[in-house]
Amino acid sequence: MKAIQITKPFEIKIIEKEKPVRKDGEALLKVLYCGICGADVASFTGNQPFTSYPRIPGHEFSAQIVEIDENDAGFKVGDVITCNPYFNCGECYACRRGLVNACHDNQTMGVQRDGSFQEYITMPVERLIDGKGLSAEQLALIEPFSISAHALSRAEIKQGDNLLIMGAGPIGLFALIKAKSMGARVAVADLIESRLNLAEEYGAELVINSKTDDINEKCSAFTNGQGFDVCVEACGLPVTFLSCIEQAAHGANVILIGNGKKETTFVHSVILKKELNIFGSRNAYTKDFKTLIDLVSSGKVDITKMISGVYEAENAEKAFNSLANNDGSLAKLVIKFSDAD
């Protein structure tokens, strides 16, 4: 079978490898569509500290079951599904407390272990998630959606809360969709007008161009000078983290999704003064995937508007180069491996 392999930074090859053979308790899956994650792009550009080479990327995917034994979950050959791609050890302190998403030895597909950018993969049956009739393209977007949804679950969000999202990339936009489904009034800030336009399409009550707008003035008017009940940092930058702290109301929740790579220096007494709650977020739970599949199945949101382009597998390097040089106008790029039978 064919697989897409990052052999070293900025080099991708289509390789031939043996089709996997499933073990007891596993299913053999035909991969359909794969989304390219920011972590995959970081592996491609040599900026992913957890990746070794060569590496097959990918953990945002849909697949069709080719082989499976009778199982309690009722999965059968032909089902179109997605999967939980975060492998946990089951033995560390986090796992023993049920925090499997924060396993000390977490191995995410495509990062610490080979991923889904290949024609066939095997997966433990307990990691399969029923697609409930969603299209292969929709299911390939559920994993990044789950990252945002899990982050929002870290803090209480109530109907009518004022919520600020710093960053309108895919993760920020998915956070917007989830926040709207929870009844929040959402403001989104970004530097790129096309992203803000998409945020408006997804229901943001306020969009702020951080380059041209007075963010303090806009935020104050939106919250009647009270600040935001919840601030979501979805960029991983010092300036956006500090903006969240500044725009947060007293007693607010600040949620960090963006994976920062730079140190942030600030006087932390503002956290004490405002009595802020600051939450980190990592990966997601299987229940997050299931909740979002139900949400998308309801027809209330169209997450496929997030897809900026679909590439055939042989054009994967072109897709990766496009994202590596993204001026911000691209949201999700998807690799097509196969159609469902």
Q: Which two tokens stand for residue 218?
A: 């806009």
**Residue range 179-191: mean pLDDT, rounded:** 97
- Nearest to 230, CA basis, from 259, 203, 257, 261: 257
In CATH terms, the superfamily for domain 155-280 is: NAD(P)-binding Rossmann-like Domain (3.40.50.720)
Q: Which two tokens stand for residue 73?
A: 């979950």
* DSSP E strand stretches across the chain: 2-8, 11-16, 26-35, 60-67, 80-83, 86-87, 107-108, 120-124, 128-130, 162-166, 185-190, 206-209, 228-233, 248-256, 277-280, 307-312, 332-336
Task: In whole angstroms, give the CA distance from residue 208 to residue 189.
Answer: 5
For the chain, give the number of residues.
341
Q: Which two tokens stand for residue 79?
A: 């089902």
In this structure, which CATH number among 3.30.1490.270, 3.90.950.10, 3.90.180.10, 3.30.1130.10 belongs to the domain 2-146+284-336? 3.90.180.10
Whether the Cβ atoms of residue 151 and residue 175 lie closer than 8 Å to each other? yes
Task: In whole angstroms, give the CA distance from residue 34 to residue 269.
Answer: 44
* CATH code 3.90.180.10 region(s) in the chain: 2-146+284-336
* CATH code 3.40.50.720 region(s) in the chain: 155-280
Task: In whole angstroms, give the CA distance from residue 136 to residue 133.
Answer: 9
Task: In whole angstroms, give the CA distance from residue 149 to residue 154.
Answer: 9
Mapped onto helix, strand or coil, the DSSP state of residue 270 is helix
Model confidence at 50: pLDDT above 90: no
Whether the Cβ atoms of residue 143 and residue 120 lie closer than 8 Å to each other? no
Q: How many CB atoms lie within 10 A of CB 299?
A: 7
Reported as a single tens digit per residue, the pLDDT across 82-129 is 999 999 999 999 999 999 999 999 999 999 999 999 999 999 999 999
- 67 - beta bridge partners? 28
Q: Which two tokens stand for residue 180?
A: 């709207």
Reported as a single tens digit per residue, the pLDDT across 195-205 is 999 999 999 99
Would you give the distance in Å from CA 129 to the centre of its chain? 16
Reported as a single tens digit per residue, the pLDDT across 224-245 is 999 999 999 999 999 999 999 9
pLDDT (0 to 100) of residue 265: 87
Model confidence at 266: pLDDT above 90: no
Model confidence at 167: pLDDT above 90: yes
Model confidence at 259: pLDDT above 90: no
Q: Is 212 exposed, middle or buried (CB count within 10 Å of its CB: 0-12, 13-18, 19+)? A: exposed
Cα 35-166-292 angle, rounded to 5 deg: 45
Model confidence at 165: pLDDT above 90: yes
- 251 - beta bridge partners? none
Whether the Cβ atoms of residue 293 and residue 132 lie closer than 8 Å to each other? yes
pLDDT (0 to 100) of residue 286: 97
What is the residue-averaged pLDDT of the chain?
Answer: 96
pLDDT (0 to 100) of residue 129: 98
Handedness of CA 277, 283, 289, 295 (dihedral sign): positive
Predicted model pTM = 0.95
Q: Residue holding tokens 């299911």?
A: 139
pLDDT (0 to 100) of residue 125: 98
pLDDT (0 to 100) of residue 72: 94
> Per-residue confidence at 329, pLDDT binned at 50, 70, 90?
confident
> Per-residue confidence at 157, pLDDT binned at 50, 70, 90?
very high
pLDDT (0 to 100) of residue 283: 96
Whether the Cβ atoms of residue 81 and residue 75 lie closer than 8 Å to each other? yes
Q: Is 83 exposed, middle or buried (CB count within 10 Å of its CB: 0-12, 13-18, 19+)? A: buried
Whether the Cβ atoms of residue 256 and residue 233 lie closer than 8 Å to each other? yes
Whether the Cβ atoms of residue 286 and residue 128 lie closer than 8 Å to each other? no
